[in-house]
Every structure is written in structure tokens, then in C-alpha cells.
Amino acid sequence: MVTGVEAPLTVTRVGVVGLGLIGGSVARTLVAAGLDVVATDPDGATRAQAWDAGVRTVGSAAEVFVERPDVLVLAPPLAALPAVLAELGAEVPRLVADGGPLPVLTDVGSVKAPVRVAVEAAGLGERYVGAHPMAGTEESGFAASRDDLLPGCTWAVTVSPTTAADDLLRVLSLVTGPLRGTARFVEDATHDAAVALVSHVPHVLATELLNLTTAAPAGALALGLAAGSFRDGTRVARTDPRRTQAMVAGNAGAVVGVLRDAVRHLDALADALEAGDDAAVTAYFDDADPVRAALVGEPAPSRAEAVRLDDPAWRERLVELGAAGAVVGRAGRDSITLALPPA
């Protein structure tokens, strides 16, 4: 049984662009771990807040880039990403001329395919390894960030046909080292389909509960009677609606199909209730039994598989094992060992 992760490529300096809830939490966690962090945000008041919290800030993404961090974490809103990447891309010729390695780029965005498109359009795709921490709250902004939000969470780490082994290892070193996360490998489209189910559509459905209550004649009374189920079911809808809108719209390709499936299921349930079709109603509530059972608790990993990075198919194998539930157990210069659930 593998435990822990070796760091074959150490990370000592990290750049962070964007100091909202997640970017701010990345910066705070790394500062608390003793790393050299240089960060920025377009909002001057946010930079001042971060500075007061012990995060060294500079005025622009370009200034972060030219300090040559080992890893540069992109954490701006998706709509702002192309401008940030253009700013970074403009610095590449000077950094190349000066010699030395360019930073590895990663991100914390909740969609991956659009981010890769933007990174490649800016000419930075060769140094990019996508990542997404599955953590968050209904709050936003640097004031809501914490140094205990990310430790222990699962990160999706993307692998593409052009992913460089050293760049992947450096991002793994960061995620599983000072950020104290667990990593699972995935490719972009599969990631976006999965988070549509467990993050983006739940945000939409939570908002729909608020919309129904807003429009209902009994809405005021309902709010006065609301207890745990309504509170828990609408928690994520209490966040900034523009942030949720941007997240859902950014993954529209995956979200639309899931929403249409949900509409069909709810229509069928309404029809069954109206017709008094007890069997159909029972089937609706029982169809989720396999997922209910899975949510009781995942089995502890019981076996391990090492993927050698000199194998021509190492990228495909990492993604395949990630889809099967494997998490990174140990990463070395020549191989990555993954811990798998029982067969």
C-alpha cells in the first residue's frame, strides 16, 4: 500500500494570478507552508488585503511571470483568462532570451477544455497542466479564502497528448505536497462532463429552488418554515450569482444535456404523481440506490499500479486508471504509482 508522495521536482516559489476564494486559499496555504509566493489581482484593495495577510503581491500578472516561479497558478474568472494569458505570452520572448526555464502553468478553474483552448491560443500550451480542486464555499473573494480550505481535498489533474512528464510531476509535487491534496488524473472533456453532474447542475438546481420560492404565493411562509433540507439544498445558490452564471455558461456543452435529462425525469415524475402511478414513483426514488450506496463511503485502496513515464502510452494509462478511481500514491522521477480501489 503506497502512502504519501515523493517530490521528484521540488517547488519552492509559486505564482498566483487571481486572489478570489480559491486563488486566495492557494496563496494562504502555500505561505503557511513556508513557500515563497508572489501573487497579484487586478483589484488593488484585494492586493492590499493579501499583503496584510502575509502574501507578497505585485501589480500585474506579467510581474508574477518574470519572477520565474516554479509553478504559476491561474485563478482569474474564466472571462478574464484570455487577457491574463496575453499578458503572460508577451513576456515569453524576453524570458526565453534571458535563458532559464519558463514557469509551469496550472489553474484552478472548474472547467478544463475552455481553459486549454485559451492557453494554447496564447502560445503557452506546451507548459500547461490543468488542475481543479474540488473545494469551495458559498462565499467569494479574498476575505473568504482560508489556509485550511484546500488541504485534504481531491484535485482533478488533466493529462493531454502533449503533457510533458516533468511539468506534470511539478504540478503533482505542488498539489500533493504543500497544498496537501489528493490527485486524480483525467482528460479535459471527461472532467467537464463529471463536474457538470456533481457541481454545475447542482448549482443550477439550488438556484431553481430559490426561484420557485421567489415566485410562489406561499414563498414568505415557506421561508419562515424552512429547515435543514431547504438550507442544505440551497447553500450554493447563496453565492454570487454572476460567479455561478459564469461557471455554468463556461461548461454549457456538458451542462445542457444534464439539465435536459433532469427536465425529462421531473416531467415523468410529475406525470406519475398526477396519474397515481405508484410503481413509477417508486422507481424514480429507487433508481438512485447505486449512488446512495457509493456515497456511504469509498472502499480503501487495496492495490497499486506503477506507470512508467518512459512508456509511450503513459498518458493514456494515467487517464484510464484515474477513471477507474485511482489516486496518486507516489510520484518519482521515472514513474507514478497509483492506489486503486478493490477490483
Q: Tens digit of pLDDT for each residue in 155-205? A: 999 999 999 999 999 999 999 999 999 999 999 999 999 999 999 999 999
Domains in the chain (CATH in brackets) are: 13-186+299-340 (3.40.50.720), 192-287 (1.10.3660.10)
Q: What is the average pLDDT across 71-78?
A: 96
Q: Which of 51, 74, 49, 78 is nearest to 64 (CA)?
A: 74
Please name every residue paired with 184 in a beta bridge, in sequence order, or none if there are none.
156
Q: Which range is most confident: 98-102, 237-241, 271-275?
A: 271-275
Q: What is the average pLDDT across 272-294?
A: 95
Query: Is the predicted pLDDT of residue 9 greater than 90, yes or no?
Result: no
pTM for this model (two decimals): 0.90
Q: Tens digit of pLDDT for each residue in 116-163? A: 999 999 999 999 999 999 998 888 899 999 999 999 999 999 999 999
Going by pLDDT thresholds of 50, 70 and 90, the confidence category of residue 302 is confident
Decide: helix, strand or coil at residue 147. Answer: coil
Cell 429507487: give the residue.
286
Give the torsion sign (CA, 142, 79, 239, 135). Answer: negative
> Can you point out the beta strands (E) in the chain?
13-17, 36-40, 56-57, 71-74, 104-107, 131-133, 154-158, 182-186, 303-308, 327-331, 335-340
* φ/ψ bin of 141: left (φ > 0), alpha (ψ from -120 to 50), beta (otherwise): left
56 CB-contact burial (10 Å; exposed 0-12 / middle 13-18 / buried 19+): middle
d(CA 8, CA 179) in angstroms, rounded, equals: 16
Q: What is the average pLDDT across 300-308?
A: 85
